[in-house]
Amino acid sequence: MNASNFINPFSIREDEGSFAGDFYTRNFERQARKDSIILNLGPQHPSTHGVLRVLVELDGEYVLRAEPVLGYLHRMHDKMGEVKTPYQYLPNMGRVDYLHPIAWNWAFVGAVERLASIEPPKRAEYLRIISCELNRISSHLLWWGAFVLDLGGVTPILYAFEEREMINDILQIITGSRLTMSYFRFGGVCADCDSRFIKLTKDFIPYLRERLKIYKALVTDNIILRRRLEGVGPMDTDICLRYGATGPVLRASGLSSDTRRNIPYSLYDNFEFAIPAGPSNDCFGRYLIRLFEIETSLQIIEQAIESLPDGPILIDKAPKANYKLPAGESYFAVEGARGQIGVHLVSDGGKNPYRVKLRSPGFSNLSLFAEAAKGTLLADAIAILGSLDLVIPEVDR
């Protein structure tokens, strides 16, 4: 988003109206060509995957400019962290990104544990990894189905939800939830796994690998999809780094960067897994990278299940509801389905954090859309937007 085009809605004159969205439109129109068309994508539109508004200036079907407009879904998650105790705030994480809530659980719990010098038990760390990777797969599956749906293919999302429901059945055993999960606790996890969880997880791994072969035959190798995505929306490493893009968007550009390897946390160093990068930096490359990452997550889960140690799942003196954080600050980053999730926590020793700052990968990934969409066909701009895997509650939190 171009900072020079940003308008402060609080500076609107009375004669210009009071709705910030109208003011954005007027400012956008002032810079438009006389023969161009101004089009609103959203804030309620299937291709925006949430309450996102994109102002687009068109020359026929070609995009001259595109400006994302946020603020329709803002819930002040950062500020809520400053008026709640850590335990009260923990369920918020599942509402920031409802597709990979366990990763957000981990980021906040990790920031508190790092500040308070808490080390969770080894079994709890393994359960965290297993649950987080299962949740990552379910997020990628929903993206896969919804992305193809954006491009006109209806059937794949039915396949994706079949596998996603199986994962939800597995995760519900230990988390007690199917969507906004809040499984982690400061010093461990809230519930242990049982033999049913282990069996279902072990059975799911070979099942999904067979299903991935169907995905390839049905969708990936489909010439219509490939013509729709190949060569569309190339994003090289330069543009990704300039906008702070991370996750599959950055890796598709050719840079093998992953928080699990670059900034190791938990016990990920104990597992063998590749960080796929490429093979192309276009929409099709971003499509492939997420399918590769599903296989990577399966490899990690398989190793973790086989080597799951015995022992407690929570430290003996785990923080209680009235726990006060020690004074100081910490930052903890994890690899989410959309990229690096970070939580910066500052405490003055009171019952509530003094400051909570959330780093959402979707915001950075969305920021490069204006540059990437310029000069493309409107239909290709929709493909580019979908290839970023946006979850708007995370972007506009």
pLDDT in tens, 250-261: 999 999 999 999
Q: In percent, how much of the chain has pLDDT > 70?
A: 92
Residue 26 pLDDT greater than 90, yes or no: no
pLDDT digits (tens, 9 = 90+) for 371-386: 999 999 999 999 999 9
Structure-model confidence comparison of residues 294 and 38, the more confident one: 294
pLDDT, averaged across the chain: 89
Q: Which two tokens stand for residue 137?
A: 């797969």
Residue 251 DSSP code = H
* pLDDT for 321: 80
* pLDDT for 322: 81
Burial of 377 (0-12, 13-18, 19+ CB in 10 A): middle
Residue 390 pLDDT greater than 80, yes or no: yes
* pLDDT for 4: 44
Average pLDDT over residues 151-160: 92
Average pLDDT over residues 178-189: 93
* pLDDT for 27: 67
Residue 361 pLDDT greater than 90, yes or no: yes
* pLDDT for 28: 65
Report the distance separating Cα 277 and Cα 246, nearest Å. 12
Residue 291 pLDDT greater than 90, yes or no: yes
- Does residue 361 contact residue 240 with C-beta atoms inside 8 Å? no
Identify the band that residue 11 occupies on the pLDDT scale cut at 50, 70 and 90: very low
Closest to 159 (Cα-Cα) out of 146, 170, 150: 146
* pLDDT for 22: 65
Structure-model confidence comparison of residues 351 and 11, the more confident one: 351
Report the distance separating Cα 13 and Cα 22, nearest Å. 12
Residue 51 DSSP code = S
Region label for 349, one of left (φ > 0), alpha (ψ between -120 and 50) or beta (otherwise)? left
* pLDDT for 31: 67
Residue 41 DSSP code = E
Identify the band that residue 42 occupies on the pLDDT scale cut at 50, 70 and 90: confident
3-state secondary structure of 10: helix
Range of lowest pLDDT (14-23, 210-219, 237-246) = 14-23
> One-letter amino acid identity for 391?
V
Identify the band that residue 319 occupies on the pLDDT scale cut at 50, 70 and 90: confident
Residue 84 pLDDT greater than 90, yes or no: yes
Residue 274 pLDDT greater than 50, yes or no: yes
Range of lowest pLDDT (28-32, 129-133, 152-156, 320-324) = 28-32
Homologous superfamily (CATH) for 77-359: Cytochrome-c3 Hydrogenase, chain B (1.10.645.10)
Identify the band that residue 72 occupies on the pLDDT scale cut at 50, 70 and 90: confident
Task: List the domain boundaries for the chain.
Answer: 3-69, 77-359
* pLDDT for 15: 44
Range of lowest pLDDT (31-35, 298-302, 305-309) = 31-35
Residue 70 pLDDT greater than 90, yes or no: no
* pLDDT for 30: 66
Residue 345 pLDDT greater than 50, yes or no: yes
| pTM reported for the whole predicted model | 0.90
The alpha-helical segments, DSSP class H, found in the chain are 20-30, 77-80, 86-89, 93-96, 101-116, 122-150, 155-175, 195-215, 223-229, 237-243, 248-252, 259-262, 283-306, 361-367, 369-373, 378-387, 392-395
Identify the band that residue 55 occupies on the pLDDT scale cut at 50, 70 and 90: confident
Residue 40 pLDDT greater than 90, yes or no: no
Residues 6+ apart with CB under 8 A from 5: 27, 28, 31, 67
Q: What is the DSSP string of 308-330?
A: PPPS-SB-TT---TT--PPSEEE
Residue 2 pLDDT greater than 80, yes or no: no
Average pLDDT over residues 84-105: 93
